[in-house]
Amino acid sequence: MAADISDGVERFTLAAFQEAVRIVEEGVATVADVDIALRAGAGFKEGIFAWADHQGLAQIKDRLEQMAKEHGEWFAPLPLLSQRVASGRGFTDV
C-alpha cells in the first residue's frame, strides 16, 4: 500500500505543479506570488516552483510525459516548462 500512497502523492504534487504553471502562463500570478501563496496559505514548506527547481525541471518534464500517457493529456508538459528546460533556467532563477 505504501507504493500506492507515494504514487498518489506524486500525482497530486505534479497536478498542483501543472496548475501553478498554468496560472503563471495565463498571467494570473507570478512565480513568486504562487510560491508565497502556497507557503502562506496552504502550508507548503517551500513554494511549488522552488520545489520543482530542486527536483530538476527536466526530470519533472519526463515524469509528466509519462503521466500524460497513463492519465491523459492534462499532464502533458506545458510550454513554459518546456521553455525552462530548454534554457536550463529554473523558475526561481533571477
Cell numbers 497513463 correspond to 70
pLDDT at 9: 87
pLDDT of 35 higher than 80: yes
CB atoms within 10 A of CB 66: 10
Q: Confidence band (pLDDT; 50, 70, 90) for 6? A: confident
CA end-to-end span of the chain, whole Å? Answer: 41
**Per-residue pLDDT averaged across 81-89, rounded?**
97
The whole-number pLDDT of residue 94 equals: 67
**Structural domains in the chain, sorted by start:** 2-87 (1.10.1040.10)
Residue 43 has pLDDT above 70, yes or no: yes
Average pLDDT over the chain, rounded to an integer: 92
Q: Tell me the average pLDDT across 8-28.
A: 94
